[in-house]
Amino acid sequence: MSLINRIKPKFWDYRDMASVPYRATCQFRRLWYGVILLTSAVALFPLIFLAVIDYKATQHDIESEILLRTSRLVSNTRRTISYFLEERKSALDFVVHDNSFEKCANPDRLDGILSNLKNAFGGFKDIGLIGPLGLQRFYVGPYNLKGKDYSDQEWYQQVVERGEYISDVFLGFRHVPHLIIAIKYTSESGSYCVLRATLNTEQFNDILSHLEMAGQGDAFVINHQGILQTPSRFHGKVFQKISLPIPEYAHRTRVFEWETADGVPLIIGYRYISDTPFILMVTKQKTELMKPWYNTRKELIGFLIISVMFILLVIFGGTTYLVNRIYMADQRLIMTLHNVEYSNKMASIGRLAAGVAHEINNPLAVINEKAGLIKDLLTIKKEYEKNDALAGSIEVIISSVERCGRVTKRLLGFARHMDVSIQSIRLDEMVQEVLEFLHKEAEYRAIAISLHFSDEIPRIETDAGKLQQILLNIINNAFAAMEKGGRLDITAEMAGQEMVSITISDDGCGIAEANLKQVFEPFFSTKTVEGGTGLGLSITYGLVRELGGSIDVKSKVNKGTDFTIVLPLTIGEKEKMDT
């Protein structure tokens, strides 16, 4: 709370009471808000807008780049795999065309072909020749499969129908993953046979496992049922069903995004390999691929936040400073206007007082003389000697005239001091003169006034009119603070060689400590409801400064207040220029 108060600028709670009564608004606060909002909007909107646009654009670019790269990888790999299978198929095709059924029927020849194939391509495990009825007529390999009947097997029917066949990978009774390539050979006479070779999948697997892939990439082959044909790093072992969806059929390479059950976003590229039961799939973890971009993004966002904060700081600081300057200039202007108004008022009062006093003094002098003459005559003429009533009345008239005279002289004295000038005055006389104005009020309210003037105080040379106003203001304030039967002490003594200090102490309600620092500030008033302007003490402060002096206040609530004014004995040259 106190921190807020400390950093809160002065204009924050300022309400212009004077201009619009009862509808006071915090005009400087509104100005502050307005400037802050406008400049912030103008400065930050383009920055944030551009940042967002750029963010979206680069994100989109990076994502398409990733998709494109995945797609390219899938295409290339598909080509390799197709080529791999095509190569072997062509080899078998060549074999079956190069060697007639009769030649193949020779087991030695078949054995030679197998060993040539093994040498040339590797991976061939066995080879067999199946007659038109589906019976394996000749076989070379680790098992004795000669005479096995394939006629009721699906692959046989397919190869007879389509001319070629590539099987899924399966374990068979060898317990080694392998696949079958079968080629149908139709002779000129119309009879046909089928050449069937078994390939183990190691080479096939090698193609995929040697792919270099970023982002936790995984390349594998599945069949159309989603059963893994080659090992996968993340999606299961061979012959397991993959945890990913089986992508829909497409002629071309396709890439799509998918989120696993664990919430890991994947980029999946796939391609149906034509004429085979295989689908090539490549998966990559999007998060991994985006990592470099995420890092850049983090830096950019950090930079953006720092920039925004810096801009806001500058806007806040600058606006507060400027609005405060405007506020202070405004305050000074109002203060000056009030000062001018105040001194004009005092000057008018002075002129009025002098005019009135003059007009009254002449008739008063006539009354005085006439009454004096009557008194003289009464004294001379013996016959009125005994008439005490008449003599008494005359005395009363004369003493009343004297009283009136004192009042008008006081007014004239006050007005005389109002005229701006430096005079040599006696401090006690000056205080007496001021008190004359207030002594009736003091009497009514039974306020005891006591003066303590040190004898060593010389005459002081100062602007008497200003000093008069200073004393009048402070004593008036003291009166206002006191209850009936209060006590006012005015003490004057030397303060060093060149200065004299005047202390005016009352035993009134006092000033709260929180307000004590502010009492000399313009427009500070605790009596705004009663019509205080909050200017009295601020003008007093200004006047004391103009006389080259200083003013200080000490107060305790319900104990009383001491105002101490310290004035130089002679007013300085600078102050003379000011007055």
**Contact window for other proteins (CB under 8 A) among 292-300, 355-363, 383-391, 526-534:** 355-363
The minimum distance between CB 1 and other proteins, in angstroms, equals 55
Interface pick for other proteins out of 114, 354, 471, 567 (rule CB under 8 A): 354
Query: How many residues are there in the chain?
Result: 579
To 10 degrees, what angle do helices 27-98 and 286-380 make?
180
416 binds other proteins (CB under 8 A): yes
Rounded Cα gap, residues 476 and 438, in angstroms:
8
Cα separation, 544 vs 578, in Å, equals 12
Q: Any idea what DSSP says for residue 167?
A: P
Smallest distance from the beta carbon of 381 to other proteins, in angstroms? 11
- How far is it, in rounded angstroms, from Cα 117 to Cα 200? 13
Complex with other proteins: residue 140 or 401, whichever CB lies closer = 401
Instruction: Report the residue from 131, 163, 265, 405 that binds other proteins according to the rule CB under 8 A.
Output: 405
In angstroms, give the least distance from the CB of 398 to other proteins. Answer: 8
Q: Binding other proteins by CB under 8 A: which of 77, 276, 320, 368?
A: 368
The minimum distance between CB 354 and other proteins, in angstroms, equals: 6
Q: Which is nearer to other proteins, 411 or 519 (CB)?
A: 411
Judged by beta carbon, residue 415 or residue 500, the one nearer other proteins is: 415
Q: Which stretch binds other proteins (CB under 8 A): 145-153, 166-174, 408-416, 570-578?
A: 408-416
Q: Provide the sign of the torsion angle of the four alpha carbons 519, 486, 495, 436, taken in this order.
A: positive
Give me the least distance between CB of 366 and other proteins, in Å please: 5
Q: Which stretch binds other proteins (CB under 8 A): 58-66, 224-232, 376-384, 541-549?
A: 376-384
* Residue 106 CA neighbour count, 13 Å, CB half: 8
Instruction: Name 130's bridge partners.
Output: 136, 194
- Rounded CA-CA distance 396/329 in Å is 59
382 binds other proteins (CB under 8 A): no
Which member of 376, 483, 513, 552 binds other proteins (CB under 8 A)?
376
Q: Does 380 bind other proteins (CB under 8 A)?
A: yes
Nearer to other proteins, 44 or 367 (CB): 367
3-state SS, one letter per residue, for 199-248: EECHHHHHHHHCCCCCCCCEEEEEECCCEECCCCCCCCCCCCECCCCCCC
Does residue 446 touch other proteins according to CB under 8 A?
no
CA distance 496 to 181: 123
Residue 372 sits in the site that holds other proteins (CB under 8 A): yes
Quick one: tokens of 81? 């795999």
Residues in the interface with other proteins (CB under 8 A) total 31
- Position 543 contacts other proteins (CB under 8 A): no
Site membership for other proteins, residue 72 (CB under 8 A): no
Q: Is 466 in the site for other proteins (CB under 8 A)?
A: no
Tell me: does residue 359 bind other proteins (CB under 8 A).
yes
- 195 to 224, contacts with other proteins by CB under 8 A? none
Told to check if 4 binds other proteins by CB under 8 A, we report no
Using the structure block, give the residue that is written with the tokens 């993340």.
Answer: 234
For residues 60 and 133, give the distance between their C-alpha atoms in angstroms, rounded to a whole number: 60
Query: Closest approach of Cβ 361 to other proteins, in Å?
Result: 3
Residue of 144, 189, 274, 362 that binds other proteins (CB under 8 A): 362
Q: How far is the CB of 416 from other proteins (least distance, A)?
A: 5
Minimum distance from residue 390 beta carbon to other proteins (Å): 17
Residues 6+ apart with CB under 8 A from 79: none
State how far the Cα of 17 lies from the Cα of 118, in Å rounded to an integer: 106
Any contact of residue 413 with other proteins (CB under 8 A)? yes
Rounded to a whole number of angstroms, the minimum distance from the CB of residue 403 to other proteins is 11
Contacts of 452-455 with CB under 8 Å at 24 or more apart are 452/489, 452/490, 452/491, 452/492, 453/427, 453/428, 453/491, 453/492, 454/492, 454/493, 454/494
Q: Determine how many CB atoms are found less than 10 A away from the CB of residue 270.
A: 25
373 binds other proteins (CB under 8 A): yes
Q: Examine residue 370 and tell whether it contacts other proteins (CB under 8 A).
A: yes
State yes or no: residue 395 binds other proteins (CB under 8 A): no
How far is 134 from 416, CA to CA, in rounded Å? Answer: 144
Per-residue DSSP letter, 383: G
Closest CA relative to residue 336, chosen from 522, 65, 131: 522
Nearest to 172 by CA among 193, 199, 194: 199
Stretch binding other proteins (CB under 8 A), from 120-128, 276-284, 357-365, 437-445? 357-365
Candidate residues 65, 299, 369, 498; the one interacting with other proteins per rule CB under 8 A: 369
- Shortest Å, Cβ 384 to other proteins: 14
Q: Does position 430 bind other proteins by CB under 8 A?
A: no
- In whole angstroms, what is the distance from residue 79 CA to residue 67 CA? 18
Query: Nearest 5°: phi and psi at 221?
Result: -120, 135
Q: CB count, 10 Å around CB of 6?
A: 7
Q: Pick from 133, 163, 168: which is nearest to 149 by CA? A: 133
Contacts of 574 (CB under 8 A, 6+ apart): 548
Q: Choose which of 159, 315, 364, 434 interacts with other proteins (CB under 8 A).
A: 364
The single residue among 365, 390, 451, 557 that binds other proteins, judged by CB under 8 A, is 365
Among residue numbers 488 through 507, which ones bind other proteins (CB under 8 A)? Answer: none
CB of 372 to other proteins, least distance (A): 5
Which of the 8 DSSP states describes residue 499?
Answer: E
Stretch that binds other proteins, among 41-49, 285-293, 340-348, 367-375 (CB under 8 A): 367-375
53 vs 366, beta carbon nearer other proteins: 366
In the complex, least distance from residue 435 CB atom to other proteins, rounded to whole angstroms: 19
Q: What is the C-alpha to C-alpha distance for residues 192 and 17, in angstroms, rounded to an integer?
A: 114
Residue 366 near other proteins by CB under 8 A: yes
Closest CA to 417 of 458, 355, 461, 469: 469
Interface residue with other proteins, options 149, 206, 402, 429 (CB under 8 A): 402
Residues that bind other proteins (CB under 8 A): 354, 357-362, 364-370, 372-373, 376-377, 380, 401-402, 404-405, 408-409, 412-413, 415-416, 419, 421
